[in-house]
A and B are shown apart, each in its own frame.
Chain A
Amino acid sequence: GAVVSQHPSWVICKSGTSVKIECRSLDFQATTMFWYRQFPKQSLMLMATSNEGSKATYEQGVEKDKFLINHASLTLSTLTVTSAHPEDSSFYICSAKKTGGVGYTFGSGTRLTVV
């Protein structure tokens, strides 16, 4: 149990375009989901906390207008990177916490390359 599906697993896009990444909890409901970014050989940096039915909470230094988060249901959160630039190239990972549960389940990650 506790599976999180993340799509796409990799994407290449042109500068200036937008990319949407989906994170789904397949067998549980997740009131809260989290989005991380990981640069090569670095740790995971929390970007934002996504709460179902309400606005996301962004970490300091993360541009909310650039990284749009939508958590419209208890099983789906999306991250849209708008007007992507090469410096946005990174590994993006989502995680979900089962409502009322302990522990966090991570998606398989999305490698974004902006050219």
Chain B
Amino acid sequence: ELKVEQNPLFLSMQEGKNYTIYCNYSTTSDRLYWYRQDPGKSLESLFVLLSNGAVKQEGRLMASLDTKARLSTLHITAAVHDLSATYFCAVDERADKIIFGKGTRLHILP
């Protein structure tokens, strides 16, 4: 059974700082997704990582995937208040459904 673990689960940080959210998963998969969720809203797709070594960047966010280590990271550079949200990673199980991590609640202090 696929298990997806995110850490930290809660992160409070100052604007301008850098930080990384980690996503570990338990079984072989080469498809990993990162989503953002604002309070009361549904999910917004951030990144789709489809192969070992994949790296994608959008603005202050950068995601990477190491399938051998079963690890993905979401790096935040020079955080701004607008990035405050909950971030989820999700892993494709046998390409027929995705399993979510518990989410990381990110609170960026102005």
Binding site for B on A (CB under 8 A): 6, 32, 34, 41-46, 49, 93, 95, 102-109, 111
Instruction: Given A41-B105, A95-B43, output 8 extra A-B contacts at Cβ < 8 Å.
Output: A42-B103, A43-B88, A93-B42, A102-B48, A102-B50, A106-B35, A107-B42, A109-B41
Number of B interface residues at 8 Å Cβ cutoff, please give it.
20
26 example contacts (A-B, Cβ-Cβ < 8 A) are as follows A6-B42, A32-B96, A34-B97, A42-B102, A42-B103, A43-B88, A43-B102, A44-B43, A44-B100, A45-B100, A46-B97, A46-B98, A46-B99, A46-B100, A49-B97, A103-B45, A104-B33, A104-B45, A104-B98, A106-B35, A106-B43, A108-B41, A108-B42, A109-B41, A109-B42, A111-B40
> What residues on A are CB-neighbors of B42 within 8 Å?
6, 93, 106-109
Residues of B within 8 A of A104 (CB): 33, 45, 98
Interface of B toward A, CB cutoff 8 Å: 31, 33, 35, 40-43, 45, 48, 50, 88, 96-103, 105
A43-B101 contact, Cβ under 8 Å, with A108-B41, A109-B42: yes
CB contacts (< 8 Å) of B45 on chain A: these are 103-106
